[in-house]
Structure 1
Amino acid sequence: MIRSFDYRPDARELDILFTTGRRYVYRDVPPEAAAGLRSAFAKGRHFNAHIRDRYSYIEVEPTPT
């Protein structure tokens, strides 16, 4: 479900790239929420239970190649 993710603690943004190719930036994510995702064995399950629908987000359009 999740291809990759990056957390920017200074901005409290969690940038997630899904296997579908869609990318979202979740805002105002506390460091402990990002750490929980990082340490979770099942990233998709953790995302659905602890991040999805809890933080505001924007979809990032793919950059043209």
Structure 2
Amino acid sequence: MECKKEKNLTSCNCTYEPCSRKGMCCECLQYHLKSRQLPACCFPADAERTYDRSFEHFARLVQQKKV
């Protein structure tokens, strides 16, 4: 499968600047799932900026109807 990195970058909201996985969704997802996290694209902008990408944080946002 061909990576569409340039196209993916248009919707990538990751604010972590030294991230080497920006635009490479499969690598990003694999990286975060190993740590029981979700990638930035699963979070609204204000939550993403906290860098708390945990499942628990995502669940709290769902309960608060912010996701």
Q: Is TM-score (shorter-chain normalized) higher than 0.5?
A: no
Whichever of the two has the greater Rg, that structure is 2
> Which of the pair is proportionally richer in strand?
1
> Which of the pair is proportionally richer in helix?
2
- TM-score normalised to structure 1 length: 0.30
Structure ranking higher on relative contact order (CA contacts 8 Å, 6+ apart): 1
